[in-house]
């Protein structure tokens, strides 16, 4: 029996269907903000959540940050509060260096924070750089594969909570473990805001976030991946140095695969076809065994 009460999947499906039917009957386009929300909360599609990078690509050709235009617009008040706090902090360079845990040689990072609302933007998947994103290698995908990856990949963010791969964002500096003046720890700030939103997400979620970003919000029923190798004794041990590279390779495969994985069986099949060994070690738990 289907339960049609708020919070239950059947209720959400029925509500979404009714809303879509009303829009079609009135011959109206769906509201823009609801479209942005649906990218991350679409029923039945896979969502692969990546960790961000400390380093960011410079520049961009997009218009300045539009907080209300990002995916999951219900997070806009929290995002606005954080961007305002970060801009205020940027007025005090020595304090910014201390809070952000960076050296005087990285003072340019503070300037980025000061220009959050005026700097050019670019899609999130192009903004983040580093080992994981080098392995993801979006530029090496075909146009069709890039379109799939853009649709399936999202990035955890200390500043924005979570962004879809195509969300236009500026360069910034803020780590998941930071304690911001007037805000407190980002974990205590984001959890009560972000968790209820992500709890509404139906479909397969593959959580590749690192520790500080996984702490910002728990995701019910998400599949987590631990990268391991065999030591001299044949025992599986966690990989630290190349962890990001292997997760980037997995994200590339899941993001670009012709068949979109809808469940654990599909996920394992897609990885195996690409030569990646994934072993299920528990409910919602996978190990990626490196060569």
Structural domain of residue 116, as residue ranges? Answer: 47-289
- Give residue-wise pLDDT tens across range 216-266: 999 989 999 999 999 988 899 999 879 999 999 999 999 999 999 999 999
Does any domain span residue 211? yes
Does any domain span residue 175? yes
pLDDT above 50: residue 119:
yes
Let me know the angle formed at the C-alpha of 39 by 123 and 155, rounded to the nearest 5 degrees: 45
Mean pLDDT (the chain) is 88
Two tokens, residue 193: 């805001």
pTM of the model: 0.85
Looking at the structure of the chain, the number of domains it has is 1
Q: What is the DSSP letter of 144?
A: H
Does any domain span residue 277? yes
Does any domain span residue 187? yes
Q: Taking residues 80-86, report their average pLDDT.
A: 98
DSSP of 53-103: -SSB----SBPSP-GGGSSSGGGHHHHHHHHHHHHHHHTSHHHHHHHHT--
Does any domain span residue 81? yes
The C-alpha atoms of residue 37 and residue 170 are separated, in whole angstroms, by 20
Does any domain span residue 203? yes
Confidence of residue 42 (pLDDT cuts 50, 70, 90): low
Does any domain span residue 39? no
Does any domain span residue 151? yes
SS3 sequence, 112-136?
Answer: HHHCCCCCCEEEHHHHECCHHHHHH
Asked which of 8-17, 155-164, 197-206 is least confident by mean pLDDT, the reply is 8-17
């Amino acid at each position: 029996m289907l339960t049609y009460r708020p919070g239950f999947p059947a209720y959400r499906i029925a509500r979404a269907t009714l809303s879509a039917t009303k829009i079609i009957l009135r011959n109206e386009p769906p509201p823009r903000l609801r479209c942005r929300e649906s990218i991350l909360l679409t029923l039945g599609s896979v969502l692969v959540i990546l960790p961000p990078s400390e380093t960011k690509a410079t520049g961009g050709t997009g218009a300045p940050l539009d907080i209300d235009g990002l995916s999951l617009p219900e997070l806009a008040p929290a995002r606005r509060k954080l961007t305002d706090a970060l801009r205020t902090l940027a007025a005090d360079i020595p304090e910014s260096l201390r809070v952000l845990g960076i050296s005087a040689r990285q003072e340019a990072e503070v300037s980025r924070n000061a220009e959050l609302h005026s700097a050019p933007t670019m899609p999130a998947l192009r903004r983040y750089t580093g080992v994981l994103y080098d392995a993801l290698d979006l530029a090496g995908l075909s146009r069709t594969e890039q379109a799939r990856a853009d649709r399936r990949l999202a990035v955890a963010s200390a500043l924005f909570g979570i962004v879809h791969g195509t969300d236009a964002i500026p360069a910034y500096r803020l780590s998941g473990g930071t304690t911001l003046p007037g805000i407190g720890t980002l974990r205590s700030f984001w959890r009560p805001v972000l968790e209820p939103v992500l709890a509404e997400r139906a479909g397969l979620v593959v959580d590749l976030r690192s520790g500080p970003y996984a702490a910002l919000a728990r995701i019910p029923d998400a599949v987590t991946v631990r990268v391991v190798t065999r030591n001299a004794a044949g025992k599986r041990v966690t990989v630290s140095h190349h962890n990001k590279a292997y997760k980037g390779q997995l994200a590339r495969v899941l993001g670009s695969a012709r068949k979109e994985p809808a469940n654990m069986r599909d996920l394992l099949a897609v990885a195996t076809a690409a030569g990646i060994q994934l072993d299920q070690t528990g409910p919602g738990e996978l190990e990626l065994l490196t060569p």
